[in-house]
Amino acid sequence: MFNQPESGTVVRASVSPFGDSILIILLSLWGVVWSLYWAGGLAYGLFNGWDQQLLSFNFGMLMLTIIILGMVYLKFVMPDVVIVKHRGNKYITSNDPDGWRQYEV
């Protein structure tokens, strides 16, 4: 950055152009449907006594789907906002002996 901006300046704030895309909306709906599928299978398996391997597979697939949805959200939907903040000068007060209190236990 060649020109130093003023404090509190929003350098770039824009909603990602892909956030309103029909493809992102369809991908989100696809992820929600699959998340509900894996969560429903996990709940059904818990109540019907499925073995641990199948339950962990359902749980892993549920977590993987949620992680992929989160990555897509962070990459394509979240706006890029950069607010410039400059460090202020530190002010260290002198040690005030009257500010201390003696507490009895």
Domain boundaries along the sequence of the chain: 10-99
- Residue pLDDT, tens place only, 38-79: 999 999 999 999 999 999 999 999 999 999 999 988 888 876
pLDDT higher than threshold 50 for residue 1: no
Q: What average pLDDT score do residues 21-34 get?
A: 90
Q: Find tokens 């040690």 and name the residue.
A: 95
**Could you tell me the pTM of the whole model?**
0.61
Phi/psi of residue 86, nearest 5 degrees: -100, 145
pLDDT higher than threshold 80 for residue 82: no
Where does the pLDDT of residue 21 fall: very low under 50, low under 70, confident under 90, or very high at 90 and above? confident
SS (HEC) of the chain = CCCCCCCCCEEEEECCCCCCCHHHHHHHHHHHHHHHHHHHHHHHHHHHCCCHHHHHHHHHHHHHHHHHHHHHHHHHHCCEEEECCCCCCCCCCCCCHHHCCCCCC
